Structure formats: C-alpha cells, structure tokens
C-alpha cells in the first residue's frame, strides 16, 4: 500500500444531504480505517472547517444550495487545498469543464460504489491531474466538441427561443434586427442538420448546449 495511504489522513466531504454524507463517510472509513472524514452539510460549516483544519482532499457535491459552486470552490482553493473532486447526483459536462479549468481534479457520480469513489480519490492524491470515468470523459469530450458547432451568440439566441421568446423579442433583447436573428436560426438549422426550430432546440439539448446548471 502507498505510504500516503498508511498514514492517518483527513478528508472533508461537503454535501447538503446529511444522510448521504454520513453514510459515505462511514463506509469510506470502514474501507480504510486510517482515513478520517469530516462532513459539512452547509457552506458555512464547510468554511468553518476549512478555517480550522487542513484536509488533503475535498469531496464536493455540485448542488450546495447556499453558494454558487465556483465561489465555494475558490474558497477551497484559498485554503490551499489542491485535491478537490466532485461527487454529485448527475454528470454535468458544462460544470465539469468550468471547474476543471479552475483546477478541479476529478468527477464521479453518487451511483458509484464507495470503493470506486475511494479509488478515484486515491488517484487524485497520488497526483493524477484529472480523474473521470471513461463514460463521463466521453461525454465531456463530446460536449467540448459540440460547443464548436454554434457560436456563443447563436447559443444565446437559442436559449431565448427555448424560453419562449419570439424572433421580435429576441431581436429587441439583443439589439439586433429580426433578419439577423432569422439568419442565425437558418445557420443553426444547417449546422445541427434539422429542419425547424423545435428540432433545433431538441438537438441542442441533446448536445448539452443549452445546459444552464
């Protein structure tokens, strides 16, 4: 066993679902008795723990309700903790990509076995820069490549259309002419290989281009 794992190490699990946090911390501790896991179910609790204790790893849920996740993550970085992994209910490519650029080290979903979560954490503390399941990595790569299909302007237009805005309303909001909006829509139909706006929105959703999480 790696010498690092034979020492008593301390991790922080941040998750607003107390039952999940307690259960996971207990199981991980049973799998590795040398491991001490503290839990925090609110952002305030997490910040207080970070102020008083040094952790070698943070396991963070994406759905903490009290704080924008990027802000909470930056607070963790300010505590000089480099090893941070997400353990959340679903895989969100847009969030994964944004947090990875901030230095996030791994992403796993809650349906994984505790042994897999532990193995992911070990790979991070052993120095791997990015740890993700092959399936989720494929989703992330697909998301990154699909982003190049549409411009940021076109994605914004499509988001407005998805919300129910008319061409005229979109044009007014973006300070563009209606003809310009129509031109962008025609280009999007061609790029996504669909024949109408409804299909365009459905296709964009399937590619995670309209994700707002």
- Category of 92 on φ-ψ map: left (φ > 0), alpha (ψ -120 to 50) or beta: beta
Interatomic CA distance for residues 159 and 8, integer angstroms: 49
The pLDDT, as a whole number, for residue 65 is 60
Q: What is the reported pTM?
A: 0.69
Q: Answer whether 102's CB lies under 8 Å from 73's CB.
A: yes
- Structural domains in the chain, CATH included, are 3-133 (3.40.50.2300), 147-206 (1.10.10.10)
Count Cα neighbours of 94 within 13 Å in the Cβ-side half-sphere.
10
Residue of 43, 53, 49 whose CA lies nearest to 16: 43
pLDDT in tens, 178-210: 999 999 999 999 988 899 999 999 988 888 788
- Check residue 213 and report its DSSP letter: -
pLDDT in tens, 47-96: 889 888 989 999 999 877 655 556 677 778 788 888 999 999 999 887 88
Token couple for 122: 């070990």
């Amino acid at each position: 066993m790696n010498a690092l794992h034979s020492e008593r190490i301390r991790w922080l699990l941040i998750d607003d679902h107390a039952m999940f946090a307690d259960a996971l911390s207990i199981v991980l501790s049973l799998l590795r008795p040398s491991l001490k896991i503290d839990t925090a179910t609110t952002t305030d609790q997490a910040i207080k723990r970070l102020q008083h204790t040094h952790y070698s790893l943070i396991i963070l849920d994406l759905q903490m309700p009290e704080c924008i996740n990027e802000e909470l993550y930056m607070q963790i970085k300010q505590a000089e903790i480099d090893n941070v992994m997400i353990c959340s209910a679903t895989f969100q490519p847009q969030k994964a990509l944004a947090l990875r650029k901030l230095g996030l080290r791994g992403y796993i979903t809650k349906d994984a076995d505790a042994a897999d979560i532990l193995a992911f954490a070990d790979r991070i503390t052993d120095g791997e820069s990015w740890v993700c399941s092959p399936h989720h990595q494929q989703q992330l790569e697909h998301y990154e490549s699909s982003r190049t299909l549409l411009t940021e302007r076109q994605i914004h237009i499509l988001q407005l259309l998805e919300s129910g805005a008319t061409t005229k309303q979109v044009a007014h909001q973006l300070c563009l002419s209606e003809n310009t909006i129509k031109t962008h829509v025609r280009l999007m139909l061609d790029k996504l290989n669909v024949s109408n706006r409804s299909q365009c929105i459905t296709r964009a959703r399937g590619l995670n281009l309209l994700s707002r999480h």
